[in-house]
Structure 1
């Protein structure tokens, strides 16, 4: 079961800290690569890797590309949107990362390789096109059915990679999406689909879709990915994964729900089935929980062992909600909106804190639903505590435009006992 918009936990009980991600299906396991974010400045902290057989239970593999001693992926640099593909010609796994300085004035597409999917990747240098480094920022990658690899960059440029995936051989399309970033591509029976986000910093927006009969085009705009005004279900596209479902392989949207400044602790994922409507890619209704094996929604409240009404609304750090519950896994249902902030959600055993996680209650588009689902704990009596931190998620673009919340409010409605 995939849970959207809530923290995920790995086999160590740690938050799965993988953003700007991609998913590689290799020898019966899915490998999730993503930015290993920090909770202070937006600096490169390595590329993390987790693996799973069912897209629900995640095993931490390692930080596969650590911070380098110096250079483009050295200390106090930016490293974003890692994308990994296995090169058919060499059998090696090739990773692309957007490298930059902290002011985003020195963009570079960095290349690293590894002989195994989850080993330590070796930094090669910049990706070059016609002997010059590709100096672009938001990147994506796409591997076609014939093994051809493509690098996607902001504004809608597409590069065909050389056979060894280590250089950009040819620019096959350009300026497909002026003002677009975070590109992702997939192929269906109806052709090729390119997803792009608009440039609104860490804020979500209505992502768009382009379609074409071939990667080279001609490309046409095909509308919005999700219903207008949902801001792509409060997420930003990052990747389109190919997911096994029975004997079929189906596309799945992989998106980020950013949480600046606490990206490591509170940023979450939105993964949903991708549909094809009139030849264009679409996301259907937002599902807080769904089963990737069946492609069907899971309604956690209908299956809950107990539902505890727990109305709470406050932004003051000296206020708190405490609910006594019995079971092994619990969920918090609350409301996100433009005036909300962070909360600390804790589970206590006889007064001792056992789990503690930061949860973001801000969203530009209001939503009432799952805000937190705990790890599975030993069955017993617990106290679930929600405490506003008083902190406001807010940030500014380079031109000073302010984004984020207008307040620190936290709104909870009920607690579900799931196990």
Structure 2
């Protein structure tokens, strides 16, 4: 099952690190492309590619676009919002990205290509429109039923791409979503839906959407699509994908739970089914876990025990012995929550896995906070402790965002034998 809001682990036991992502399906396998974040600073460390047969078990393929020796994706640059489409006319995989300097004052939309979906992409430079580079930032991509490719831009600009996907040929919509960023699009029964986030830096907000009978419009504002006040289930939209399930197609919202500064280790994902009806989208309810094969909610099953641990004292923690193959922690994220360190040791005291999780969210949420990777059956001890480091940042205007404390709050543990 797919579990939201917890770190996912790949075939190496490492955290799946693919943010601002997109998803493609090819030959029965899903390919996830995203920003390969670091925990030290917000700089371009590469774009990653993972693959999966089921959206649950992930294999690390490679860094498909590493930092370049110089130029727009070289040292001292930011790389964000990577999107990949396969061009029907050439068979080439075309990658789009936002490049910028570390102060977000030199934005470019750039392009790279590869002959294979998971190969190393060759950086080609800025994407152009009417012969000039596109100096914009947040972007999305959309491929229509006839194979035509489109580039989506913050504030609601839409460009039709050339037949080879390497040039923006026509601007088909302009400024239809003032104040919107992180665009994502899907099509249902001939209606186009376009989702946006408001601009609140790494913080979540109530994302909104528009609908139209054609990409040229007219576009109609449809309001929020997740429960009002939930801050889009404490996430920000990044992509929309349509799953093929045994009961029919299921549109899937893909969102990020950013966690600055520990983006590599503690930032997570929220993927949920989207309902389309009467020219509107909705996520009626947040599911902590669900089955992508059916599009229905699910729960981890195991031996459950109560915990009563809450602390904001740095270094204070709790040891949880367990026997089994997997363990899950359930607790509260909240405005005064922040990072915790998690370590699992075996019967000999040797470290098996370790990492960080976050207990911060602007809107309080009770649910899964950590689910371990699968382990060989045995006796283990999970230790979780308060890191004492708040999740906090400032936007480009100097406004402070993030946690107002460093609390860790747990009330249950679930052991899978």
TM-score, reference length from structure 1:
0.98
Once residues 90 and 177 of structure 1 are traced to their aligned partners in structure 2, the CA distance between those partners, rounded to angstroms, is: 32
| 1:248 shift after superposition | 3.5
Once residues 214 and 387 of structure 2 are traced to their aligned partners in structure 1, the CA distance between those partners, rounded to angstroms, is: 50
Once residues 222 and 169 of structure 1 are traced to their aligned partners in structure 2, the CA distance between those partners, rounded to angstroms, is: 29
Counterpart in the other structure of 2:70 = 70
Across the aligned residues of Structure 1 and Structure 2, the Cα RMSD in angstroms comes to 0.9
1:223 aligns with 2:223: yes
Q: Please give the secondary structure, in 1, of the residue aligned with 2:72.
A: coil
Counterpart in the other structure of 1:310 = 307
TM-score, reference length from structure 2:
0.98
Counterpart in the other structure of 1:170 = 170
Counterpart in the other structure of 1:327 = 324
Once residues 121 and 88 of structure 1 are traced to their aligned partners in structure 2, the CA distance between those partners, rounded to angstroms, is: 18
Counterpart in the other structure of 2:4 = 4
Q: Which runs of 5+ in 1 are unaligned?
A: none
Q: Please give the secondary structure, in 1, of the residue aligned with 2:155.
A: helix
Counterpart in the other structure of 1:339 = 336
Once residues 26 and 39 of structure 1 are traced to their aligned partners in structure 2, the CA distance between those partners, rounded to angstroms, is: 32
Once residues 154 and 327 of structure 2 are traced to their aligned partners in structure 1, the CA distance between those partners, rounded to angstroms, is: 40
Give CA deviations for 1:16-48 in whole Å, capped at 9, x if unaligned: 000000001111110000000010110000000
| 1:9 shift after superposition | 0.5
Q: Which runs of 5+ in 2 are unaligned?
A: none
CA contact (8 A) 1:206 1:230 kept: yes
CA contact (8 A) 2:250 2:295 kept: no
Q: Work out the number of aligned pairs and report it.
A: 416
Once residues 360 and 103 of structure 1 are traced to their aligned partners in structure 2, the CA distance between those partners, rounded to angstroms, is: 26
Give CA deviations for 1:212-250 in whole Å, capped at 9, x if unaligned: 001110000011010110000000000001212137333
Residues 289-300 of structure 1: pairs in structure 2 closer than 5 A: 289-300=289-300
Q: Please give the secondary structure, in 1, of the residue aligned with 2:374.
A: coil
Once residues 192 and 236 of structure 2 are traced to their aligned partners in structure 1, the CA distance between those partners, rounded to angstroms, is: 20
| 1:207 shift after superposition | 0.3
Residues 13-412 of structure 1: pairs in structure 2 closer than 5 A: 13-189=13-189, 191-246=191-246, 248-300=248-300, 303-304=301-302, 306-350=303-347, 351-412=349-410
Once residues 18 and 143 of structure 2 are traced to their aligned partners in structure 1, the CA distance between those partners, rounded to angstroms, is: 21
Give CA deviations for 1:286-344 in whole Å, capped at 9, x if unaligned: 001000111110022xx22x112121101112311111111110000010000011001
Q: Please give the secondary structure, in 2, of the residue aligned with 1:72.
A: helix
CA contact (8 A) 1:190 1:279 kept: no
Give CA deviations for 1:116-151 in whole Å, capped at 9, x if unaligned: 000000001110000000110000000000001000
CA contact (8 A) 1:310 1:323 kept: no
Once residues 323 and 109 of structure 1 are traced to their aligned partners in structure 2, the CA distance between those partners, rounded to angstroms, is: 48
Once residues 257 and 71 of structure 1 are traced to their aligned partners in structure 2, the CA distance between those partners, rounded to angstroms, is: 30
Q: Please give the secondary structure, in 1, of the residue aligned with 2:232.
A: helix
Once residues 138 and 409 of structure 1 are traced to their aligned partners in structure 2, the CA distance between those partners, rounded to angstroms, is: 33
Once residues 109 and 247 of structure 1 are traced to their aligned partners in structure 2, the CA distance between those partners, rounded to angstroms, is: 38
